[in-house]
Chain A
């Protein structure tokens, strides 16, 4: 049995807005084991980023508020820690990289200065030690002339290189967990391939666990071992990656996979399209939030929200309908 690093139970996060309370995350539970790569898939607004930001307590409050649940890292509840305690976890034990590397880097500080900062704060390094380690980190993520490039500012780096710097910074304190929030969405495909390969190599070399948040089912297929799919603030399906793609059980997952054209498709066929729009979360959903868009919906779907229940070992689905029979499972 591998060691469990992170155990999140019934996490709920709200945002108070002038128009009402947005129920962004509505009771999400998952765990992450040592050295494992977990893919989190969903469309914009499904709560995938907010879930991970909540775990690290990076939700701005107000308007955000974590209203329920716990998030245990090696047995300690991150949600109950003091600000001082969580600061020692963030960046050192669990670090995060974001979608847009330009807005995540400070434009008026050199790359060297920004790389050294976490090393000095978390690892108590001296200026010289931090500098040497920064060069080492930049070389590790494949930036040529690392020593000279420390003096450069973020705008002198290209998009792909900035994301490499972000990765170097996130890995600087040897974290146990790396949370990557759509790290390749802003990049071109050839650069995306570089970054995904880099992340895989570093993961294997350093043995850390990775949570990879994305809307791209293709990227997840190549990097994750286990995947969960989110919709309307809930996890609606969770399985090992091969099982999920070969045998998707939730109508939303099936729709998502079907709506993607494949680069290796041989015949042209009409894309499967899910009708309608994702839900607006001003109320906590009492019934299945996918029901209005679901072709398989039965009466039960409009009465009660399904729980995420196992249908096979390591495969959990939140759906009332058994798709083979079209009846309640």
Chain B
């Protein structure tokens, strides 16, 4: 795989302010993403995993400038997206698209499938009139839907088919980078495999780069080249998939992996589990020092005092932990 950097995220921060009282004074902020840095290479799939509320979806949206970041930079294709505005940013958006989690909420129920898939073409003045119809038919064909579906409405389709419509819409402008935000977690098991196989086929065919956000560690392992693990707004570990799953260094990654059930009763019997105590702390007031220390089985005094440094332990294996 070529090592050409497509996207470079540097110290990205996104805080959502909390306002209270009659004068709506800011009393605090949700530290949704609190300084994440990573590169995404051309043609790869970077998996971003974490539990709900860890900021993984916010990170995806902030990268695409759907939320404007509080600070930090996102370099994509030679430009800093954070500095771009208006027309320039709109032009950039052609090259980066998003597939959303909920195929029921992300399609407008009052638009036909043809209008949904064709809208990006018209918004960006890529095609008009008859050409839109042809392109839509072609896009539907790519995601294995019949071209005749263009005149139908989203409610007539099942979850898996709707997700295909979402994929067709994301592909309309021939992007090079797609953020897949939990694209399969709302689908049934047998349908999940269909959509994942489709995403893999499209990646090969169109040389796409994915940021694949999910909480399902087995699926992330299956689809990703490299995996980043997020906890409470920061990335705690990043490595290629084989290394991360075989030799996880951060105690959170270890606990997360051991919590995933395996569909094999024999393997389940033999496993030893690390079960984490308690819940994820509130991102409004994250713990001092290392954010994981309140649930960490090996935390020491230093963990409460200093924020662990983001270190490269071996080549391309990054981890933020004092104890490693």
Which positions in A face B, CB cutoff 8 Å?
43-44, 158, 160-161, 188-194, 196-197, 215-222, 241-242, 245-246, 255-257, 259-265, 268, 270-275, 277-278
| B266 on the A face (CB < 8 A) | yes
User: How long is the Cα–Cα vector from A256 to B260 in the complex, in angstroms?
Assistant: 18
Chain B contacts of A188 at CB under 8 A? 51-52, 215, 280
User: How long is the Cα–Cα vector from A192 to B279 in the complex, in angstroms?
Assistant: 11
Query: Within residues 235 to 284 of chain B, which ones have a CB less than 8 A from any CB in chain A?
Result: 245, 255-268, 273, 275-276, 279-280
User: In the complex the two chains form, is A260's CB within 8 Å of B259's CB?
Assistant: no
Which 9 pairs, one residue from A and one from B, show the smallest C-beta to C-beta distance? A218-B261, A261-B222, A259-B193, A193-B259, A273-B193, A188-B51, A271-B193, A217-B263, A43-B188
User: How long is the Cα–Cα vector from A158 to B281 in the complex, in angstroms?
Assistant: 10
- List 8 additional A-B contacts (Cβ < 8 Å) besides A257-B263, A268-B222: A192-B259, A193-B276, A218-B260, A218-B261, A218-B262, A221-B268, A259-B189, A261-B196
Which of these, B52, B188, B222, B261, contacts A222 with CB under 8 Å? B261
Which of these, B190, B260, B279, contacts A259 with CB under 8 Å? B190
A157 to chain B, nearest CB (A): 10
| B147 on the A face (CB < 8 A) | no
**B201: nearest residue on chain A (CB-CB)?**
A270
Chain A contacts of B65 at CB under 8 A? none
Chain B contacts of A219 at CB under 8 A? 261
| B219 on the A face (CB < 8 A) | yes
Mask: chain B, 165-183; 1 = CB below 8 Å from A; 0 = not: 0000000000000000000
Q: Mind listing 15 A-B residue pairs with CB under 8 Å?
A: A215-B189, A216-B261, A259-B190, A259-B192, A259-B193, A261-B221, A262-B218, A263-B245, A263-B260, A264-B245, A265-B222, A271-B193, A271-B197, A274-B194, A277-B158
Chain B contacts of A216 at CB under 8 A? 261
B237 to chain A, nearest CB (A): 15
Which of these, B160, B215, B265, contacts A189 with CB under 8 Å? B215
**B241: nearest residue on chain A (CB-CB)?**
A268
B276 to chain A, nearest CB (A): 5
Chain B contacts of A191 at CB under 8 A? 51, 279
Chain B contacts of A192 at CB under 8 A? 259, 261
- Chain B interface helix/strand/loop/mixed: helix
User: How long is the Cα–Cα vector from A266 to B128 in the complex, in angstroms?
Assistant: 48
User: In the complex the two chains form, is B217's CB within 8 Å of A263's CB?
Assistant: yes
Chain A contacts of B158 at CB under 8 A? 277
User: In the complex the two chains form, is A197's CB within 8 Å of B273's CB?
Assistant: yes
A100 to chain B, nearest CB (A): 14
User: In the complex the two chains form, is B259's CB within 8 Å of A189's CB?
Assistant: yes
User: In the complex the two chains form, is B221's CB within 8 Å of A190's CB?
Assistant: no
Chain B contacts of A275 at CB under 8 A? 194
User: How long is the Cα–Cα vector from A194 to B262 in the complex, in angstroms?
Assistant: 15
User: In the complex the two chains form, is B190's CB within 8 Å of A43's CB?
Assistant: yes
Chain B contacts of A218 at CB under 8 A? 218, 260-263
User: In the complex the two chains form, is B221's CB within 8 Å of A263's CB?
Assistant: yes
User: How long is the Cα–Cα vector from A278 to B159 in the complex, in angstroms?
Assistant: 11
Chain A contacts of B215 at CB under 8 A? 188-189
Chain B contacts of A245 at CB under 8 A? 263-266
**B219: nearest residue on chain A (CB-CB)?**
A261
User: In the complex the two chains form, is B265's CB within 8 Å of A265's CB?
Assistant: no
Query: Within residues 201 to 232 of chain B, which ones have a CB less than 8 A from any CB in chain A?
Result: 215, 217-219, 221-222
**A157: nearest residue on chain B (CB-CB)?**
B279
User: In the complex the two chains form, is B275's CB within 8 Å of A189's CB?
Assistant: no
A289 to chain B, nearest CB (A): 14
**A257: nearest residue on chain B (CB-CB)?**
B263
A163 to chain B, nearest CB (A): 12
User: In the complex the two chains form, is A274's CB within 8 Å of B265's CB?
Assistant: no
Chain A contacts of B200 at CB under 8 A? 270
**B277: nearest residue on chain A (CB-CB)?**
A194
Contact A194 to B221, CB < 8 A, known contacts A263-B260, A273-B197: no
Contact A256 to B219, CB < 8 A, known contacts A189-B260, A222-B265: no
Chain A contacts of B261 at CB under 8 A? 192-193, 196, 216, 218-219, 221-222
Query: Within residues 262 to 320 of chain B, which ones have a CB less than 8 A from any CB in chain A?
Result: 262-268, 273, 275-276, 279-280
User: In the complex the two chains form, is A190's CB within 8 Å of B256's CB?
Assistant: yes
Chain B contacts of A261 at CB under 8 A? 196, 218-219, 221-222
